[in-house]
């Protein structure tokens, strides 16, 4: 009992230290999020107050997605360096077991990250996707709130790279950056994966290789076919060589231009409202499932399933009966 009370009392202090930029407190808060701690409600309440006091509109959340092998981790590393040169505090949420941020990369990748890992103005956190099909950990939205409360100007979210299901990043980010590379059939694959519908900025990495210009032409052609309302953002295409830093400043300029467009058009608030609605819905559904599991034995669902199969009731009526029982 005494341990629990100490932990509860520590939450306001952790939130306050995180707001002041204490990296250890940020890490502890994200751990509470990942572990679905009983203290999570108190944590989120404290973070909500911190977010309300920000006068700059909060962190710019940039989702970085693309097929495995296009250089997501190297590009993220280069973007962090460019943003730090601008004096911005950066958060990195890497949901990718093969990422150097999660320790699953080659030694060379780990060495390249040392400068950022030791930078007090950069928060790097890896999160396991835990089988979540969208390429993002279920805890990612709450982890983003922690990084936002810590005063990050930009938060980079690097996804797992699992193909079509990766489009989930679009609902979580203010700006979605899609990485492609020549020689991987990415022009055609992009259309198949549906990422042409979600990208705000397209980056053709490894542009020093043959075929980069062809990928760019294919992208331009495909994007020109998309129907966009008047005044809508037209996705930019940038070529980079992330390993050397070539073109990275152009990517930063494109991200800034998209953020400015979101603000001037009112789309930034619209995206964040949609994100909050989805987060609330996910929490409510999870809570409903847990409540049902606490109140009802699994046999009740089995009984209803048998009635549906036997034709004695229909799925909608069975669902109504199940939900009615939860309120008892």
For 58-70, the pLDDT digits (tens) are 899 999 988 778 8
pLDDT score of 103: 43
- The verdict on 161 and 243 lying in the same domain is yes
- Strands, E, within the chain: which ranges? 60-66, 90-94, 122-126, 154-158, 175-180, 201-204, 236-239
Q: Say yes or no: 236 and 138 in one domain.
A: yes
Task: Tell me the whole-structure pTM to 2 decimals.
Answer: 0.83
40 and 82 share one domain: no
Tell whether 135 and 3 lie within a shared domain. no
The answer to whether position 271 is within a domain reads no
pLDDT tens digit string along 123-172? 988 876 554 444 455 678 888 999 998 999 999 998 766 554 456 677 78
Helices vs strands, H then E, count in the chain: 13, 7
pLDDT tens sequence across 294-325: 555 567 778 889 999 999 999 999 888 877 76
Note the Cα 172 to chain centre separation in Å. Answer: 5
| DSSP secondary structure of 248-265 | HHHHHHHHHHHHHHHHHH
- CATH code at 160? 3.40.50.300
Q: What is the rounded CA–CA span in Å between residue 215 and residue 284? A: 43
Domain assignment present for residue 272? The answer is no
The domain boundary, picked from 222, 237, 265, lies at 265
Least confident range of 32-46, 128-142, 228-242: 128-142
Q: In terms of domains, do 68 and 120 share one?
A: yes
State the Cα–Cα distance between residues 104 and 121, nearest whole angstrom: 23
**Residue 26 is part of which domain span?**
1-53
Residues 187 and 306 in one domain: no
Cα–Cα distance for residue pair 193/166, rounded to 1 Å: 8
Structural domain contains residue 270: no
Alpha-carbon dihedral 118, 119, 121, 125, rounded to 10 degrees: -40
CA proximity to 235, closest of 162, 185, 170, 156: 170
Q: Which one is predicted more confidently, 207 or 47?
A: 207
What angle in degrees, to the nearest 10, is found between the helix axes of 248-265 and 72-85? Answer: 80
Shared-domain flag, residues 46 and 59: no
Same domain, 184 and 49: no
């Amino acid at each position: 009992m005494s341990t629990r009370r100490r932990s509860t009392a520590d939450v306001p202090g952790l939130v306050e230290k995180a707001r002041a930029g204490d990296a250890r407190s940020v890490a502890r808060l994200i751990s509470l999020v990942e572990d679905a701690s009983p203290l999570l409600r108190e944590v989120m309440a404290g973070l909500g107050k911190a977010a309300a006091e920000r006068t700059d509109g909060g962190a710019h959340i940039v989702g970085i997605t693309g097929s495995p092998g296009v250089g997501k981790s190297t590009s993220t590393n280069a973007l962090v360096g460019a943003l730090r040169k601008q004096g911005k505090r950066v958060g990195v949420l890497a949901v990718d077991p093969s990422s150097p941020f999660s320790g699953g990369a080659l030694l060379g990748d780990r060495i390249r990250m040392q400068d950022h890992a030791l930078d007090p103005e950069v928060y790097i956190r890896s999160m396991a996707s835990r089988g979540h099909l969208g390429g993002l950990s279920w805890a990612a939205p709450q982890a983003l709130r922690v990084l936002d409360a810590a005063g990050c100007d930009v938060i980079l979210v690097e996804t797992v790279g699992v193909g079509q299901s990766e489009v989930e990043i679009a609902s979580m980010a203010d700006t979605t950056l899609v990485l492609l590379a020549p020689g991987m059939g990415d022009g055609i694959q992009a259309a198949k994966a549906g990422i042409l519908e979600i990208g705000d900025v397209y980056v053709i990495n490894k542009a020093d290789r043959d075929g980069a210009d062809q990928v760019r032409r294919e992208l331009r052609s495909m994007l020109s076919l998309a129907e966009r309302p008047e005044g809508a953002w037209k996705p930019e295409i940038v070529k980079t060589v992330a390993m050397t830093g070539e073109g990275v400043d152009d990517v930063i300029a494109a991200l800034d231009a998209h953020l400015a467009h979101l603000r001037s058009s009112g789309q930034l608030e619209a995206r964040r409202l949609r994100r909050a609605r989805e987060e609330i819905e996910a929490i409510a559904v999870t809570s409903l499932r847990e409540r049902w599991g606490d109140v009802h034995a699994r046999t009740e669902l089995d009984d209803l399933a048998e009635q549906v199969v036997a034709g004695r009731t229909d799925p909608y009526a069975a669902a109504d009966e199940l939900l009615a029982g939860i309120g008892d």
